[in-house]
Amino acid sequence: MGCSFSGLNALYDSANSGGDVWINENRFRILRQLGEGGFAYVYLVKEVITDGSAVSGSGGLAKKVKDQSHLSDDGNYAVKKVLIQNAEQLELVREEIRVSSLFNHPNLLPLLDHAIISVKGAPGGSSSHEAYLLFPVHLDGTLFDNAKVMKAKKEFYSTSDVLQIFRQLCAGLKHMHTLEPPYAHNDVKPGNVLITHKKGHIPLAILMDFGSTRLARREIRSRSEALQLQEWASEHCSAPFRAPELWDCPSHADIDERTDIWSLGCTLYAIMYGVSPFEYALGESGGSLQLAIINAQIKWPAGPNPSYPEALHQFVTWLLQPQPAIRPRIDDIIIHVDKLISKFTN
């Protein structure tokens, strides 16, 4: 992937504030760190407008971004910095960039620009790489972040907001699942759903992080292929939201995008109650997360008062079919959730 990165000021010395970073021909000032995980760091940055980059009052990024609605009104964006230590990690980042460029949907986080640079001075005199991925910024955080705050305040989303948030996730996944060929996100979970609250509007939900996204359909025809899939899933699919067939894959199986439907069902439950429907097993003596998932042993905690309608619980149960062959597809889910929205939204 021919990515360039010019005029770099080392991010290491400016992780907190003040430093500048260039992504291709555009310059950004680092304001603060937003988060980190694994080998990745996320920073809030502000585009630096120079006379040479100004275009009708817009920044240089305006020249590059096809969909102008993705441009920030205040020039603020998020930059994800990935430390790359070997060829395998480099290929994973390149694949994330390639896959992200396939999607164009308001409920999928767009990749605005990217660069991969070679960094000399690695141990042994070899060179490593760093990747910089530029995204729109959403400072309200993720569903996971919001769940922690709401739990502390003993607050819950209304039935209407639960359904509206879920409907947006369905719309984003439909875009991925109906591409030709279809793609599966493979890590749908509250931590990968950005939520933006605007007064007087339903919460905006955007699915992000396509680092685990792959072609959805795989033919498993041997025990070794099944074990390879399970090993891959253990590294790329968060355990509490991972579909049963990725925990215990048969030696002859057709895996498809309905692995995402399972994760979507778990995420719907988490919008309501703040956690996956199976995490209770981690707190039980002798409990097994894997067994709870494979057997679809759902437990319903105490919810808001008045509680969520039984129809919503039944909807979650319908999504969490342990047999993938009878699990619904995204089109059927959207039809059903639209009916629930009509019924339970004022």
Annotated binding site for ATP: 64
For residue 241, the SS3 value is helix
Instruction: Residue 271: name the closest of 82, 143, 99 by CA.
Output: 143
The CA–CA distances, whole Å, from 298 to 169, 223, 328 equal 22, 29, 18
CA–CA dist 270, 273 (Å, integer): 5
Q: How far is the first Cα of the chain from the last one, in angstroms, to the nearest whole number?
A: 49
Chain centroid offset of residue 30 CA? 23
Alpha helices in the chain (DSSP H): 61-64, 87-100, 143-153, 159-177, 223-236, 244-247, 258-273, 289-294, 310-319, 330-344
Closest CA to 97 of 76, 85, 82, 86: 82
- How many Cα atoms within 13 Å fall on the side-chain side of residue 43? 24
DSSP 39: T
The size of the chain, in residues, is: 346
Query: Which contacts of 48-53 are long-range, i.e. CB under 8 A and separated by 24 or more positions?
Result: 48/20, 49/75, 53/25, 53/26, 53/27
- Residue 320 CA from chain centroid, whole number: 20
Q: For 201, which DSSP code?
A: S
Residues that constitute the known binding site = 64
